[in-house]
Amino acid sequence: MKNKLFNIILYIFLLNSINIFSSDTDIKEIEPIESIHSDNNNSISVNNNQDNTEDITKKDTDSIDLKSKNTISTNKDLRNNKKEEDNREDRFEEITDRTNRITALGSAMGAVDLSKTPANKFRVGAGVGHSAKNQAVAVGIGYAPTERLRLNTKISTTTNSTRANRSNGISIGASYDLDW
């Protein structure tokens, strides 16, 4: 019983000591920020509660105008972002296609083996390469002026590309046998 009585007295004391219903007329109001992307330089301000109705109406109109401007600005930003994203996707596809063409060229050149050309002889070779819907052909010629020295050259081109997108490659090489 003593605990209950003590709790009730403490509760009443706390209620009386805290002024819940303040009669202070200097209560301030903070206006919310409409958008971080607004073009106007509005800042948070503290106003008295004694604004007249004309000021409130003007603020509402300004708020609506600001929201309209923000919506238009946001929509414009979204359109610009979409254009940039589409351009990046096109560039990515272009880079991927070019990489696949170059891989096909390298595969075709790699298929032309001119390493075993006999001394004082010419050797001719051809090869085909493929990489992700891209085909390439290569031809090459090799010559061995001595038993140890070999010279070669190869050229390749893509076969399924348009003239504007066609890729070509050339390689020139020499090798010398060492007795190590």
Q: What is the CATH number of domain 54-180?
A: 3.30.1300.30
CA distance 121 to 123: 7
Q: Taking the complete model, does pTM exceed 0.75, yes or no?
A: no
Q: What is the mean pLDDT of each run of 10 residues along the chain (180 residues)?
A: 75 66 55 56 48 58 74 82 83 89 95 92 96 94 96 94 84 92
CA-CA distances (angstroms) from residue 85 to 79, 88, 90, 98, 115?
Answer: 10, 5, 9, 20, 48
Q: In what order do the strands lie in the sheet with 168-176?
A: 121-131, 134-144, 149-158, 168-176
Q: What is residue 80's predicted lDDT score, i.e. its pLDDT?
A: 84
Q: What is residue 136's predicted lDDT score, i.e. its pLDDT?
A: 96
Domain ranges within the chain, ordered by starting residue: 54-180
CA-CA distances (angstroms) from residue 8 to 16, 17, 18, 25, 57?
Answer: 12, 14, 16, 32, 48
Q: What is residue 30's predicted lDDT score, i.e. its pLDDT?
A: 60
The SS3 of residue 53 is helix
Q: Decide: 39 and 73 in contact? Cβ < 8 Å.
A: yes
Q: What is residue 43's predicted lDDT score, i.e. its pLDDT?
A: 47
Q: What is residue 57's predicted lDDT score, i.e. its pLDDT?
A: 58
Alpha helical stretches, state H, 38-146 = 53-111
